[in-house]
Homo-oligomer: A and B are copies of this chain.
């Protein structure tokens, strides 16, 4: 495979800006990039998903050891169940036993679960040590590894405990995507499409032109999609790091419906991105009913999602049950439903106090 150019996206957050590097087949250069950026690191806690041990985590550990870094490994079982208090406590305890200190760096290798869990351990051990995110799934590459949200779940409450803790560096090698199940890869494309809808009409057009290349994971197309997605997320996060102005909430496009889909279908039925894709389509129908967008918008988004191999409907949806779930969501203020809705390709707004009947209709519109 020919060498690809390394793309850099910077996240100019105060007090510490950081970079996201995106390339293909440059895994052997990751250790050097980490050493170069964090020159005073004495020790690495490499926290990785059990699925990527031999392919990605151990080779990176070897690179770092070769560069004179003391490395300790922590394996995390794949799956959302690992984002638990018990697993967090074990990681804290292992960091203590391994004498992690202020020169230590936590390196998270895996998807969103590992990034969130290891990131929260980094945010809280010794009141905060540095963090490097090495996301190996498309979803984490374009979403969770950027922006500093870390955390764990309590029973019945996802991400309810956590911290804002920005990484010092994010490293992405699209080669890791080749080892993903296709369905998992395609799921990540939902968040990519989301960035086009919420912030960048030009990118949406580019996605329409390159949907098939993306769907078959063409590296050049995927690198560009990741770079633009990270840049868009970085812009939003810089404008509203702690989700106080409402700007960051625009990232939740499709997610209010999506969370209700996941909660009522059971978390095993849809992957997160799949639920978001269906949720985006429900949101589009809702925006149409409110006269905010026309039929063409709904159709364009529908067609793009389909070409990205994503579902756009859910035959078994239970509108009333989904509505109840949405009303108990922690993001709902005083029981009033609020949605991120488009006004055109490339722009969304927060819309409050939406009529329940229109919400039901929007869900039914995708129940085919």
A residues engaging B (CB < 8 A)? 85, 89, 92-93, 96, 101, 123-128, 149, 151, 154, 156-157, 160-164, 242, 330
Contacts and interface: CB of A to CB of B under 8 A. Distances in A.
A123 B165 CA distance: 12
A101 B329 CA distance: 11
13 contacts: A85-B85, A92-B154, A92-B161, A93-B154, A101-B330, A124-B151, A124-B163, A126-B330, A127-B151, A127-B162, A127-B242, A128-B164, A163-B163
Contacts of A162: 124, 126-127
Contacts of A157: 96
Q: Is the interface of A mostly helix, strand, loop or mixed?
A: mixed
State the number of copies, please: 2
Contacts of A92: 85, 154, 160-161
Contacts of A163: 123-124, 127-128, 163
A126 B93 contact: no
Given A124-B124, A127-B149, 18 more contacts: A85-B85, A92-B154, A92-B160, A92-B161, A93-B154, A96-B156, A96-B157, A96-B160, A101-B330, A123-B163, A124-B161, A125-B160, A125-B161, A126-B160, A126-B330, A127-B163, A128-B164, A163-B163
A124 to B, nearest CB: 5
Nearest to A243: B127
A89 B85 contact: yes
Contacts of A101: 330
Report, nearest first, the 3 A-B pairs whose CB atoms are least far apart: A127-B162, A85-B89, A96-B157
A242 B129 CA distance: 11
Contacts of A85: 85, 89, 92
Given A96-B154, A157-B96, A127 B164 contact: yes
A89 B87 CA distance: 12
A88 to B, nearest CB: 8
A125 B152 CA distance: 10
A118 to B, nearest CB: 14
Contacts of A93: 154
A164 B154 CA distance: 22
A154 B125 CA distance: 11
A92 B89 CA distance: 14
A128 B160 CA distance: 10
A167 to B, nearest CB: 15
A81 to B, nearest CB: 16
A93 B125 CA distance: 21
Contacts of A242: 127-128
A160 B124 CA distance: 8
A175 B266 CA distance: 54
A33 to B, nearest CB: 24
A252 to B, nearest CB: 15
A164 B93 CA distance: 20
A157 B94 CA distance: 12
Contacts of A151: 124, 127
Contacts of A164: 127-128
A171 to B, nearest CB: 24
A21 B160 CA distance: 32
A126 B85 CA distance: 15
A125 B151 CA distance: 9
